[in-house]
Amino acid sequence: MSRASILNAVKKNKPDLLPLPEIDLDVFSENIDLVKTFIGNVEFVGGRAIQLGSVENIDSEIKNLYPNATKIVSCTRDSNLGTISISKNTNPHGLETIDLAIVKGELAVAENGAVWISENDLTIRVLPFITNDLILIVNKEDIHLHMHSAYKAISKRDRTFGLFLSGPSKTADIEQCLVIGAQGAISLTVLIV
Amino acid sequence: MAHADEAALFNKDESKVDWHDKALWFVRQKRDKSAHKVKGWETLRDLASAIKANVMSNLDNYLVQFEENAQKNGVTVHWAADAEEHNKIVHSILQQTNVKKVVKSKSMLTEECHLNPYLEANGIEVVDTDLGERIVQLAKEVPSHIVLPAIHKTKEEVDVLFQKHLGTKPSNGDPQYLTNEARKHLRDKFLKADAAITGVNFAVADTGGIVVCTNEGNADMGAHLAKVHIACMGMEKLIPQEKHLGIFLRLLARSATGQPITTYSSHFNKPAPGTEMHIVIVDNGRTEQLNREDFRASLHCIRCGACMNTCPIYRRSGGHSYKATIPGPIGSILSPGKDLTKHSDLPFASTLCGSCSDVCPVKINIHEQLYKWRQVIVKDVPQPVVKKTVLKIAGRVLANSKMYGFAGKSARFILKHAPRFVTYSKFNAWGEARDLPEVKDDNFDTWYKKRQKHE
């Protein structure tokens, strides 16, 4: 193990201590319509965001959007469309044929269309990636202006695994042509309630 | 071969170079549009720069803090002094867990350490799962760009490659079809892999967590399906606190591709039950670079690739011409620190226009460092006789106003009266593809004096 030698070399070679800067969040504050900005950014990153009147409309909206989905995993009480139930003991490889996953996001970020979801919301970590299509549900009160505010909101969480997810999986690796649907979910719909 | 010669090869296919140039400039423009939408963008850059400077000045303590926190979370932390030790550590983890098939997401560090050939020589299958990286892997090449690894390949070339290796039908390079076929091919690899290797975009000292950013979802598909996850990181990837991610994630994707954030920004803190997670912290020349006052800021780099997209040299010479894992402006200040003789031509592969420094999200003074490396190189590395002699003569002429005046007069006379084949001989590199401007009778000095007289 080179641990000691690396740390010693760093100690010897590093410059004198420089201070951590103070972060003044006022610089980033903006008085904008958070829901509208969020929806615009979800569309910009290749997803779709729909604002619903109430939680009761969720299932009819999903049926309308994905009429052919049969293997559905729902990780939220907001939807009763789940046809396959999963638990912490489910083998992640078994999720390979899932058509649609429905997950409740904890919060969303207006500036980039991202939704924060964590292991608690997913049950199985690979779910939002391995599913063919993905639906995320967020409350409109949980939309934050920017990432600084979002990190403040998740600072007290139990840290296992979590992610900011913005749009469907995509790539432009072949001649810079954007193709939606690389290795993860090929579509993303965010339902705002 | 020197960078200039490699660039000349790349320039043989004029239409491809034009495409490469424009495609990257388009990415640069997307970066601009995206950056201009953010209130306080310059403040973000200032903060990122200052945070990274603080990290470098306290790196040993942050590393220890990170290690402690990661261990508390059930992650095994390894330390590697160089590429060889890194490869051995990764291999030994794979051996201990009896792994034969590995999927790997993008990691410039493992490219730097040449991990793939090492593991393959030891009988382990390694599949790169980022589409661009899979393309270059199948072509037995290396990435030519850190964010867009296959930017040097045409869609027709990818078509032929996939026909050969994935058994696809000829499609005239249909990106949708080819990406879809790659998705099926890689799904199979993800499902069969025993271990996943990923890079690390950010390692957070105060939580012991790491963040991995992708657009394709390939890092997560690998890490969450395999029973072993190995994350390899250069020691400079550290940031002090989780809240600092707010700053860096706002900058990274906007600078890289103009997206407001990558599709997936995954925060790994604890391994999932029944799985193992390892983090390998690698030095490989970084502590030496930390010791170089003029060049240590190069370690602030967050690998967005913005300096490549904007660089007039990179765009017209292609990433492979640099013969280094990290090409482009940032690579040209990192590589000489690793092997000064091998990479001594790279700091000269620049116009010193400064555009790289202007777009750098962590405000590395890249063009100034390029200039400083030149000072080091001409002292330490033997220069070609012609270049040395010409510069010596030029130095003398420029230092003596009479000689300078005479030389200017002679040059103007010759350029005006010498036949074209003399003026545009092979010694005039400038004239290879364009005409010189019209030659005037006077230089500025004489013109100015004449003008003063007339007034």
How many degrees, rounded to 5, is the angle at CA B242 between CA B238 and CA B245?
Answer: 75
Q: Supply the mean pLDDT for chain A.
A: 97
- Which pair of tokens denotes residue B389? 């002699």
Is residue B80 over pLDDT 90?
yes
Residue B454 backbone dihedrals phi, psi, to 5 degrees: -70, -25
Domain membership flag for residue A119: yes
User: Shortest Cα distance from A5 to chain B (angstroms)?
Assistant: 8
User: Shortest Cα distance from B82 to chain A (angstroms)?
Assistant: 9
Strands B209-214 and A72-74: unpaired
Indicate the pLDDT class of residue B346, thresholds 50, 70 and 90. very high
The span from the first CA to the last CA of chain B, in angstroms, equals: 56
> Which CATH number do you get for residue A106?
3.40.50.10420
User: Shortest Cα distance from B225 to chain A (angstroms)?
Assistant: 6
**Domain residue spans of chain B:** 1-37+300-383, 57-284, 388-454
Is residue B333 over pLDDT 90?
yes
Radius of gyration of chain A (CA): 20
Output the 3-class SS for B28-90: HHHHHHHHHCCCCHHHHHHHHHHHHHHHHHCHHHHHHHHHHHHHHCCCEEEEECCHHHHHHHH
pLDDT for res A184: 96
Q: Supply the mean pLDDT for chain B.
A: 95
Q: Give the whole-number percent of chain B exceeding pLDDT 90.
A: 85
B25 neighbors A14 (Cβ within 8 angstroms): no
pLDDT in tens, B218-266: 999 999 999 999 999 999 999 999 999 999 999 999 999 999 999 999 9
pLDDT for res B432: 80
Q: Which of residues 61-100 of B touch A (CB under 8 A)?
A: 63-64, 73, 78-81, 85
Give the residue numbers spanning the domain of A70.
30-192
Q: Which of residues 321-360 of B touch A (CB under 8 A)?
A: none
C-alpha span between A172 and B175 (Å, rounded): 9
At A191 the three-state DSSP class reads strand
pLDDT for res B334: 97
Chain B: residue nearest A16 by CA? Answer: B57
Contact criterion met (CB < 8 Å) for B155 and A125? no
Contact criterion met (CB < 8 Å) for B81 and A19? no
The single residue listed with the structure tokens 């063009």 is B367
Contact criterion met (CB < 8 Å) for A174 and B178? yes
- Which pair of tokens denotes residue A183? 């290795």
Indicate the pLDDT class of residue B434, thresholds 50, 70 and 90. confident
Output the 3-class SS for B135-177: HHHHCCCCCCCCCCCCCCCCHHHHHHHHHHHHCCCCCCCCHHH
pLDDT for res B129: 98
Angle between helices B218-225 and B175-192 (to 10 degrees): 20
- Which pair of tokens denotes residue A138? 């967020």
Give the number of other CB atoms < 10 A from CB of residue A28. Answer: 22
- Residues of chain B with C-beta less than 8 angstroms from the C-beta of A125: 220, 224, 272
A45 in contact with chain B, both atoms CB, cutoff 8 A: yes
The answer for B135, left when phi > 0, alpha when psi is -120 to 50, beta otherwise, is alpha
B209-236 in b/e burial notation, b at 16+ Cβ within 10 A? Answer: bbbbbbbbbbbbbbbbbbebbbbbbbbb
DSSP string, B308-336: HHH-HHHHHH-GGGG-SSS-HHHHHHHHH
Helices (H), B257-400: 286-291, 306-310, 312-317, 328-338, 355-359, 366-380, 385-399
Mutation for testing the B interface, residue in A96, A97, A173 having most B CBs under 10 Å? A173
The answer for A131, left when phi > 0, alpha when psi is -120 to 50, beta otherwise, is beta
C-alpha span between B404 and B407 (Å, rounded): 5
Residue B441 backbone dihedrals phi, psi, to 5 degrees: -75, -40
- Spatial CA neighbour of A107 closest among A148, A74, A70: A148
Question: Alpha carbon of B92 to those of B190, B272, B276: distances in Å?
Answer: 21, 21, 14
pLDDT for res B213: 98
- Which pair of tokens denotes residue A117? 């979801």
pLDDT for res B454: 82
Mean pLDDT of B357-383: 95
Computed from CA positions of residues B96, B97, B100, B102, in that sequence, does the dihedral angle turn out positive or negative? negative
Strands A100-104 and A72-74: parallel
Q: Which of residues 366-425 of B touch A (CB under 8 A)?
A: none
Computed from CA positions of residues B262, B152, B105, B323, in that sequence, does the dihedral angle turn out positive or negative? negative
Is residue B45 over pLDDT 80?
yes
Contact criterion met (CB < 8 Å) for A114 and B265? yes
Contact criterion met (CB < 8 Å) for B272 and A130? no
The single residue listed with the structure tokens 């760009």 is B145
Question: In this structure, what DSSP letter does residue B261 have?
Answer: S
Is residue B375 over pLDDT 80?
yes
pLDDT for res B428: 81
User: Shortest Cα distance from A77 to chain B (angstroms)?
Assistant: 24
Domain membership flag for residue A18: no
B218 in contact with chain A, both atoms CB, cutoff 8 A: yes
B187 in contact with chain A, both atoms CB, cutoff 8 A: yes
Is residue B455 over pLDDT 80?
no
C-alpha span between B337 and A45 (Å, rounded): 38
Annotation: CATH topology of B57-284? Rossmann fold (3.40.50)
A23 in contact with chain B, both atoms CB, cutoff 8 A: yes
Nearest to A184 among B56, B73, B217 (CB): B217
Count of domains forming chain A: 1
- Which pair of tokens denotes residue A141? 């009160």
A160 in contact with chain B, both atoms CB, cutoff 8 A: yes
pLDDT for res B446: 85
Domain membership flag for residue A8: no
- Residues of chain B with C-beta less than 8 angstroms from the C-beta of A159: 73, 207, 209, 267, 269-270
pLDDT in tens, A146-163: 999 999 999 999 999 999
C-alpha span between B277 and B265 (Å, rounded): 18
User: Shortest Cα distance from B160 to chain A (angstroms)?
Assistant: 13
pLDDT for res B35: 98
Is residue B383 over pLDDT 90?
no
Is residue A109 over pLDDT 90?
yes
- Spatial CA neighbour of B152 closest among B36, B289, B9: B9
pLDDT for res B125: 98
- Which pair of tokens denotes residue B309? 């997209």
Question: Alpha carbon of B254 to those of A66, B44, B250, B266, B360: distances in Å?
Answer: 32, 12, 7, 17, 11
- Residues of chain B with C-beta less than 8 angstroms from the C-beta of A15: 56-57, 293, 296
Chain B: residue nearest A171 by CA? Answer: B216
C-alpha span between B196 and B193 (Å, rounded): 7
Contact criterion met (CB < 8 Å) for B296 and A184? no
Question: In this structure, what DSSP letter does residue A77 have?
Answer: T
Nearest to B268 among A7, A9, A161 (CB): A161
Domain membership flag for residue A5: no
Mean pLDDT of B138-150: 97
A31 in contact with chain B, both atoms CB, cutoff 8 A: no
Is residue B167 over pLDDT 90?
yes
pLDDT in tens, A43-92: 999 999 999 989 999 999 999 999 999 999 999 999 999 999 999 999 99
pLDDT for res A181: 95
Computed from CA positions of residues B159, B161, B164, B165, in that sequence, does the dihedral angle turn out positive or negative? negative
A1 in contact with chain B, both atoms CB, cutoff 8 A: yes
pLDDT for res B393: 92
Q: Which of residues 129-148 of A touch B (CB under 8 A)?
A: 129-130, 146-148
Mean pLDDT of B193-204: 98
Q: Which helix (H) or strand (E) holds B266?
A: strand B264-268
- Residues of chain A with C-beta less than 8 angstroms from the C-beta of B46: 21
- Spatial CA neighbour of A164 closest among A131, A138, A140, A133: A138
B151 in contact with chain A, both atoms CB, cutoff 8 A: yes
- Spatial CA neighbour of B201 closest among B233, B165, B162: B233
A with B: how many residue pairs have Cβ under 8 Å apart?
256
Mean pLDDT of B15-42: 97
